[in-house]
Amino acid sequence: MDALTPYTMLFVYALLVLQVLDALTTLYVLRKGTGVESNPLARKLMEVFGREGAVLLVKAALAGAIWTFRDTTPAWAYALLCVMYVV
């Protein structure tokens, strides 16, 4: 196991914040009725768990994966994910 670099942790924390912001914006758009969930898996989960439950479940799973693999994933991969979320 390699030691975490400061850059890796910066991107890990940024990606976790982006997960929260994505969840909030997704729920806002769904509640307003101005958009729909484009992820087919998330749509299926919404049928079972409802909007809020599905969004929280998906984001919690992603945040857990980000945190679990933070020491084995290179900083560039997290940086790329951050860019993708921002775009």
What pLDDT is attached to residue 3?
Answer: 59
pTM value is 0.84
What pLDDT is attached to residue 1?
Answer: 43
Question: DSSP letters of 5-55?
Answer: PHHHHHHHHHHHHHHHHHHHHHHHHHHHTS-----HHHHHHHHHHHHHHHH
What pLDDT is attached to residue 58?
Answer: 93
**Tens of pLDDT, residues 58-83:** 999 999 999 999 989 999 999 999 99
**Tens of pLDDT, residues 13-63:** 999 999 999 999 999 999 999 988 888 999 999 999 999 999 999 999 999
